């Protein structure tokens, strides 16, 4: 929410694909430069779009999120276009039902 300007939108979608749960969180926010996207999940990394706008944070949120997702045998990915917004996708395996 803090990366989406007033009047913007944030959408959350949940679906199922085969034996995986899919969660997508998209915003119409500030976006992340392509050259920085591979570093987003590093400990203490903050994108230039966040630091230039003096948006508070420590750079730990995505690092911790990735650790939790991977501990559950899932994966997380990002797609972003500067000035247009960002989408984070989380895939988690569903438990087997007996």
Average pLDDT in the chain: 86
The reported pLDDT for the residue numbered 31 is: 85
User: Is the pTM for the entire model greater than 0.85?
Assistant: no
Radius of gyration of the chain (CA): 14
**What are the angstrom distances between the C-alpha of 92 and each of 4, 20, 38, 46, 86?**
26, 5, 21, 25, 20
- The whole-number average pLDDT for the span 8-27 is 93
Q: For residue 15, list its beta bridge partners.
A: 22
What are the chain's domains? 10-93 (3.30.565.10)
The pLDDT tens digits for 55-84 are 676 678 889 999 999 999 999 999 999 888
């Amino acid at each position: 929410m803090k990366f989406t300007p007033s009047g913007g939108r944030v959408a959350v979608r949940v679906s199922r694909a085969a034996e995986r749960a899919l969660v997508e969180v998209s915003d119409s926010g500030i976006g992340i430069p392509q050259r920085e996207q591979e570093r987003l999940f590093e400990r203490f990394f903050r994108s230039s779009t966040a630091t230039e706008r003096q948006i508070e944070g420590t750079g730990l949120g995505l690092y911790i999120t990735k650790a939790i997702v991977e501990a559950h045998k899932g994966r997380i990915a990002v797609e972003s276009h500067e000035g247009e917004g960002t989408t984070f996708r989380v895939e988690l395996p569903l438990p087997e039902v007996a």
